[in-house]
Chains A and B, each alone.
Chain A
Amino acid sequence: MKNNKQSNSYFKKEKQRIIMATTGILCIIIGFTGLLLFGVRRCTKDDNPDNGFVMDDNAVEGGWNKVDEDKVRENLNASVEEGYINISMNTTPVFENGQSEGNLMIVNESINKYPQKVIITRNDNGDVIYESKGIPVGSKIEKAMLSENLPAGTYECTAMFHNMNPETGESLGCAGAIIQITVKN
């Protein structure tokens, strides 16, 4: 009988020890997890509890972000791709006279991304002798009249093609071609 009592007491104490040990281990695990999840403010040698100077919790180790040159170049290359313009036209258009239509054959090729506007300027005096309105992608102006009644002759000109932003009407960039305009009579 006495032995049974002693035995029960022993098992109770053992059970308590196991519970306490398990609780302790759980507390350690929870505490460690909390540290990992929420971080811990390190007490550094610069902290001075006496005068209240402590380090900013937002401060993290490191300096200015290093540039990922490949990533930057990738974005720059995409910008170049976006800005390409294909210019296409007849470089020797002929006009029967200064008031007739000539075969300009300006083509905004379907590989382009923006509507185009073409301005033709005489190279000898800088006069603008033709200015188109917007030419949609995949469209062309086969024939058109010049805005100036030119006398018979051959004129070296520059045809400037503009990529146009259809929403703002602004030129997004341009490129040109040298052309020879002939007015027969």
Chain B
Amino acid sequence: MKNNKLTKVISIVLAVCAVAVMAVPSFAADITTNGGNGTTPVNLYSTDDGTLGGDPAPTALSVTIPTALPVAVGIDGETTTADNAKITNNSYGAVRVKTATISGANGWTLVPFGNKNTLASEKVDSNKIGFAMKLGTGAQVKTANTNNSQALISAPVTGCYMSGVGDTTKNSVSVIYDAIVTPVSTAVTEKTVANIVFVVEFDTAA
């Protein structure tokens, strides 16, 4: 009696196994005709550690940006600027400069950039600066009025775009700049007269 029951159980298990073996896996392409085709999905998992089990995460943004653009002015008003300033994209993805904004600081105000002789009528210690900048191969952008905060770049333009770090010939853009300043009656050293803030973003296809 006991053996009969065991035999029945084993039979049922074997029958289930047989049916399972005959079943077509649902994740395989079902090609039923000669010359037919199937679809095999390629699934991407973007995670913080690059594993299937990692926390979902996008490509990391990593960009190196200058926060100081120093200007030296001689006794004759001639200015000298650095020639090594650049923005470098260290990210895997392409990046662009979205905005660049300048504002006067420590009592200094902005004036339109031009020939330094345009400041000839300004009084000594009137503390005014005109600023111009060029990113990479882009056009020169400059202070255009006397507003204390001005957008030099308000949307990505030519020269703002950087490739991912994989292409080291295109993953950075130079920041070439120039300035004119009004005369000073006392020597100044390392005085912040204006601040420029660059804002970057991924260069998305959308």
Contact = CB atoms under 8 A, between A and B. Distances in A.
B98 interface: yes
Contact of B195 (A75, A79, A173, A178): A173
A58 to B, nearest CB: 20
B149 interface: no
Interface string A74-95: 0111011111111111111010
Residue in A72, A105, A177 with the greatest tally of chain B CB atoms within 10 Å? A177
B68 A80 contact: yes
B118 interface: no
Interface residues of B, number: 36
A163 B56 CA distance: 29
A127 B34 CA distance: 63
B72 A72 contact: yes
Interface in B4-27: none
Contacts of B61: 87-91, 177
Contacts of A19: none
B66 interface: yes
Contacts of B199: 158, 175-178
A84 B75 CA distance: 29
Contacts of B71: 76
B80 A69 contact: yes
Given A72-B80, A177-B200, A80 B70 contact: yes
Contacts of A85: 64-67
Given A77-B84, A175-B65, 8 more contacts: A64-B75, A73-B81, A80-B69, A80-B84, A91-B61, A107-B62, A173-B195, A175-B197
B161 interface: no
The 4 closest A-B pairs by CB, nearest first: A173-B67, A83-B68, A178-B201, A76-B82
A103 B49 CA distance: 13
Contacts of A89: 60-61
Contacts of A87: 61-65, 200
Interface of B: 48, 55-58, 60-72, 74-75, 78, 80-85, 90, 98, 195, 197-202
B58 A92 contact: yes
Nearest to B58: A92
A60 interface: no
A176 B200 contact: yes
Contacts of A107: 60, 62
Nearest to A161: B65
Contacts of B48: 103, 105
A103 B62 contact: no
A131 interface: no
B202 A84 contact: no
13 contacts: A80-B66, A83-B66, A85-B65, A85-B66, A86-B63, A88-B90, A90-B60, A91-B58, A91-B202, A111-B64, A173-B195, A175-B199, A177-B199
A35 interface: no
Contacts of B82: 73, 76-77, 79-80
